[in-house]
Structure 1
Amino acid sequence: MKKIIIIILLGFSLTVQAQEKEPVNNFLDHWHKAAAEANADIFFGSIAEDGIYIGTDATERWDKESFWAFSKPYFERGKAWDFKPYDRQLHFSKDGKIAWFSELLETWMGVCRGSGVLRKSKDGWKIMQYHLSVTVPNEDIQDFIQLINQEK
């Protein structure tokens, strides 16, 4: 009996993942596209009211309202930022209401990594947290550390 329950739960989990994978990928792709097109309604509408955006600088941890205040001039000029995602990895909670992911991004800063947590509600998927980080190749890390230490 225990094995049957485990098989049923595993099957349910895999079905949820299969059903939600495409919608979540589309959601995230549209979110990135909204920034490139300076569509603030879609971009900020995709972030939960209690969502957090963590940027590349150690001081950049914004709630939705403060992230809008920071980003508003970029969106008003008609183009915010154009990050092209690839190599996205998605994971889902067993009930399919929470998703987390990591992705690589082509950006003006070079390759960056984005990671985040999404929550599904009656209004669809919303970003609870997004974290953008600059990647540094291992062979360049010592030069990077030296550069950062020079600026202190």
Structure 2
Amino acid sequence: MRFIALLCLLLNFALQAEEAPEAVLDKLHEYAASADWDKYFALYTEDALFLGTDAGERWTMAEFASYARPTQGWRYLPTQRHLLRHGDIIAFDELLDSPAYGQSRGSGVLVKTAGGWRILQYHLSFPIPNDIAKEITGRIRAAAGKGSGAH
């Protein structure tokens, strides 16, 4: 009986030790701000995708690492976050504040793996207020005609 109680206690401890999905997202922003790229990319699955703000930015982790590693990082501070869990999958969205860009949005998918929660997809975007959407999308169309692409 003591063995079963000890086993239950250890199992409970192991379950509590699992990192919360919110903590994974918090670390994502922390590691990006400090340019700690090894820890940053360890938060993603091997087959993860990063969708950047430019339409041409649909990056595998190897492609995104080639872009990110030479940089000094970037700062996006979460101001609001929503998680929607379905078993071992979590869809999330978060509003972010960036010193460089102001308000932006991150959204994506977390999956539960043997190593804990990992990011399968992250999408960074700039929310455009409806009253200026046509003006901004018109400027984007005009820029696309001039050879705009991934950077």
Smaller-chain TM-score bracket: 0.7 to 0.9
Q: Which residue of 1 aligns with 2:49?
A: 52
Q: Quick one: percent identity of the two aligned structures?
A: 39
Q: Which runs of 5+ in 2 are unaligned?
A: 1-15, 146-151
Q: Give the Cα–Cα distance (whole angstroms) in 1 for the partners of residues 139 and 79 of structure 2.
A: 28
Structure 2 residue 78 is matched with structure 1 residue 85: yes
1:98 to 89, 92, 98: 89
**Matched ranges for 1:3-152 at <5 A:** 23-74=20-71, 79-93=72-86, 95=87, 97-107=88-98, 108-151=100-143, 152=145
- Give the total of aligned pairs: 126
After superposing the two structures, state which structure 1 stretch, 45-54 or 138-147, moved more: 138-147
Of Structure 1 and Structure 2, the greater helix share is in 1
- What does the per-residue CA deviation read over 1:64-104, in whole Å, with 9 as the maximum and x for residues that have no partner? 11110111111xxxx311001121000111x3x11110011
The alignment's TM-score, normalised by the length of structure 2, stands at 0.78
| Higher mean displacement: 142-151 or 34-43 | 142-151
Residue aligned with 1:25, SS: helix
Provide the residue aligned with 2:10 in structure 1: none
* CA positional deviation for 1:121: 1.2
- d(CA) in 1 for partners of 2:108, 2:121: 5
RMSD between aligned alpha carbons?
A: 1.5
TM-score normalised by structure 1 residue count: 0.77
Hey, what's the Cα distance between the residues in 1 that align with 2:79 and 2:49? 22
- One-letter code aligned to 2:74: W
Counterpart residue type for residue 47 of structure 2: D
- Shift of the alpha carbon at 1:110? 1.9
